[in-house]
Amino acid sequence: MEDHFVDVNKMVEIGSGAEREIDDIMLSRYAGYLIVMNGDPRKEVIAVGQTYFAVKTRQQELIENYEQLSEDQKRLAIRNEMVAHNKSLAEAAQMAGVETPQEYAIFQNKGYQGLYGGLGVREIHARKGLKKSQKILDHMGSTELAANLFRATQTDEKLRRENISGKQAAYQTHYAVGAKVRQTIKELGGTMPEDLPTPEKSIKQIEKETEKKHLAEGDFQSNKE
Mean pLDDT of 179-205: 92
pLDDT band at 213 (very low <50, low <70, confident <90, very high): confident
C-alpha distances (whole Å) from 88 to each of 122, 157, 203 are 23, 9, 21
Q: How confident is the model over 58-91, as pLDDT tens digits? A: 555 555 566 678 888 889 888 888 888 899 999 9
Mean pLDDT of 155-181: 95
Contact status, residue 59 vs residue 146, Cβ threshold 8 Å: yes
C-alpha 31/C-alpha 35 separation (Å) is 6
**Nearest partner of 117 among 37, 197, 182, 199, judged by Cα:** 182
> Domain coordinates of the chain in residue numbers?
71-203
Q: State the pLDDT at residue 212.
A: 81
Q: Other C-beta atoms within 10 Å of 200: how many?
A: 7
Q: How confident is the model over 34-45, as pLDDT tens digits? A: 666 666 767 766
